[in-house]
Amino acid sequence: MRDERKLLGILGVLVAVAVVTTLFSPSFVSAYNIENLLRRSALFGIIGIGASLVIITGGIDLSIGSLICLVGCLTPWLITVVGVTPWLVVPALLILATLLGMCHGLLVTRLKLQPFLVTLCGLFIYRGLTRGILADNTAGFGTEGSALRTLGNGRIHLPGIDGFALPAPLVILIVIAVISWLLLNRTVWGRHLKAIGCNETAARHCGIAVDRVKIGAYALCGLLTGIGGLLFVLDTGSAQPSNFGNFYELYAIAAAVLGGCSLRGGEGSIIGVLIGATLVQVLRNAIVLIDGIPDSIEFAVIGGIILIAVIADEAIRRFTTAHKSLK
């Protein structure tokens, strides 16, 4: 019931922001803008799902933006400069991203390091490696990889609808979201994931393989981040190591937290993450479209809504605890 109230609340905020933005800027509901909004929401929704799996365990991943940079910059560089076939580059980089996520999980579980510190180090390492490999030069596809790029910038035209098409990343998001929902809500692994976030000590006493489940969560986060990084660069066509993926971990965490994931762990909803990712992108879009709002305050707005969401989550927790104690 509490999760349903959270979902309805964030959905209400999304509708309210969309309505207000439309009143101030009618171009918000134009076919071009809606299609672009769906594309960006899908891309950030994918990495938001990855972040949510780690957050449900009570952890955090701050390396998402830099891992996106690593995958996103190496993809066109390997194809155009090194000359590796695209259909070998893609699985190789996705495996790399998964292994790096697994390394995060191993460091957190085996060496008992704090997730914040482990992934913060990853943030610096992956960005630095990318800048070193590419010598800070921009990597782009040029005329190569056109077939592969349709995964990121492709459009699926709907019969009878002119001027609007479904972005290809949206279809990929739907597939990932369905699989993630089933994994989280219809498998033993998903139940164990939430149990660990609620009380890791109790989960161990119940015989749950805590370390294995947490490593799996970080590995899946790495995989989804790799998919996100790949789609981002396939959409843009080029990437600059110094700024590609900058602060994307902020948007991923914001989507998860706004979608109902508690930073204490144990709670999370895939549907909520999708709504949260859409809300973040609608807010970014509103800042651009509404006259009088400077674009420079974007990060202040995103940081503010994360703070509000955390405060609201804590207030709801205290109210629920107090209500139960009175019964």
Question: 187-197: per-residue pLDDT in tens?
Answer: 999 999 999 99
**Residue 25, in any domain of the structure:** no
**Residue 327, in any domain of the structure:** no
Please give the Cα distance from 46 to 289 (Å, whole number): 25
Task: Tell me what the mean pLDDT of segment 101-108 comes to.
Answer: 98
C-alpha neighbours within 13 Å on the C-beta side of residue 234: 26
159 phi-psi bin (left φ>0, alpha ψ -120 to 50, beta other)? beta
What are the pLDDT digits (tens) for 44-61?
A: 999 999 999 999 999 999
Provide the residue type at 203 as one letter: A
C-beta neighbour count of 203 within 10 angstroms? 19
pTM recorded for the entire structure: 0.94
Asked if residue 260 lies in contact with residue 272, where contact means CB atoms within 8 angstroms, the answer is: yes
71's tokens? 């995958």
**Residue 155, in any domain of the structure:** yes
Domain harbouring 185, CATH code: 1.10.3470
Given pLDDT bands bounded at 50, 70 and 90, which one contains residue 326? low
C-beta neighbour count of 102 within 10 angstroms? 18
What is the residue range of 192's domain?
2-20+30-322
**Residue 190, in any domain of the structure:** yes
What are the pLDDT digits (tens) for 236-262?
A: 999 999 999 999 999 999 999 988 898
Domain count, the chain: 1
**Residue 273, in any domain of the structure:** yes
For residue 156, what are the β-bridge partners? 166
Provide the residue type at 140 as one letter: G
- Please report where in the chains the tokens 């119940």 appear, as a residue: 206
Which whole-number Å values give the CA distances from 13 to 45, 147, 236, 258, 276, in the listed order? Answer: 17, 38, 30, 10, 10
Query: SS3 of 249, please?
Result: helix
Please give the Cα distance from 37 to 239 (Å, whole number): 21
**Residue 219, in any domain of the structure:** yes
255's tokens? 């989507």
What is the H or E stretch that residue 166 is in? strand 165-167
**Residue 97, in any domain of the structure:** yes
